[in-house]
Amino acid sequence: MKVEYINRHNEVQTFEVNEKGNIQWKADFEYCRYMFETVPNDTDADPKDITMVDPAGGPYIDSGYSMGLIDKSFNRMIVESFVRNGDGYEIIINKEI
């Protein structure tokens, strides 16, 4: 299932469920904010542990976000984390819910 989303800059982004049950997010991520999990006083924080992605124009998506807010076909799909890949981000879905 593939969904097109138009952000506030009128740019088209796509969200598509992959074979693992996660969602591939394709968009222009040239100007993008992101956060990663950190622990106070931990010098080994890994920026690969992404917990939030916010491209210019949105949408802001973070861990715990209900993907049903993007499209009702994604109801009951809750974001766990993100993995950067060549096509954008794979949104890892919490499968225990």
**pLDDT 10s digits, 17-62:** 999 999 999 999 999 999 987 777 666 656 668 999 999 999 999 9
Q: What is the pLDDT of residue 18?
A: 97
Mean pLDDT of 70-95: 95
The Cα 3–Cα 74 span in angstroms is 9
Mean pLDDT of 11-17: 98
Give how many domains the chain has, as a whole number.
1
Classify 28 as helix, strand or coil.
coil
User: Would the pTM of this model clear 0.95, i.e. be above it?
Assistant: no
Mean residue pLDDT across the chain:
92
The tokens for 73 are 């076909």
Is the alpha carbon torsion for 52, 46, 82, 11 positive or negative? positive
What range does the domain containing 50 cover?
2-93
